[in-house]
Amino acid sequence: MERGPGRGHRAVPHTADVRVEAWAPDREGCLAEAVRAAVETFVDVSGAGPGTEATVDVPAGDDADLLVAVLDEVIFRLETEGTLPVATDVTARPDGGLRVRWRVVDTDAVQPVGAVPKAVSLHELRFGPDEHGWSCAVTLDV
């Protein structure tokens, strides 16, 4: 993945599903960018209102497991509550887990722009440090 320092994300071409890449100077920032990238593949959040706060604690695991757990939680909340994160803040917990704080809105507050993801694929999943900080690449099954 070619990129410079700082934070960012993008969708990349994929045959049948959706693939996103994200990067940031630190692990937690990269996770937040991955959430934003995933959500932006299927909705436009630019017109969303202020929303409400939601928090989830993710148990300790290796880095790839943490990425999958956070993105799985996005899909779970979409399917069960009809809510989506429009802003994400991730902090490390002392026990090795994560605390994820979201500003969430109902799905009727955003404009659909693509296929809704159904699951996070483990195929070609990548998450870890690189020469500029942290980066990840993940495929979402649609």
Q: Give me the pLDDT at residue 49, please.
A: 84
| Nearest CA among 78, 66, 79 for reference residue 28 | 66
pLDDT digits (tens, 9 = 90+) for 82-132: 999 999 999 999 999 999 999 999 999 999 999 999 999 999 999 999 988
Domain-embedded: residue 39: yes
Domain of 74?
8-141
Q: Could you tell me the pTM of the whole model?
A: 0.93
Q: Pull the structure tokens for residue 56.
A: 């989830």
Q: Give me the pLDDT at residue 81, please.
A: 96
Domain-embedded: residue 23: yes
What is the domain-level CATH number for residue 81? Answer: 3.55.10.10
pLDDT digits (tens, 9 = 90+) for 33-61: 999 999 999 999 988 888 999 999 999 99
Domain-embedded: residue 119: yes
Q: Give me the pLDDT at residue 95, please.
A: 96
Rounded to 5 degrees, φ, ψ at 83 are -120, 155
Number of domains in the chain: 1
pLDDT digits (tens, 9 = 90+) for 63-89: 999 999 999 999 999 999 999 999 999
Distances (CA, A) of 27 to 22, 64, 86, 141: 10, 11, 19, 23
Q: How crowded is residue 124: how many other Cβ atoms within 10 Å of its Cβ?
A: 10
Domain-embedded: residue 3: no
Domain-embedded: residue 66: yes
Domain-embedded: residue 1: no
Domain-embedded: residue 2: no
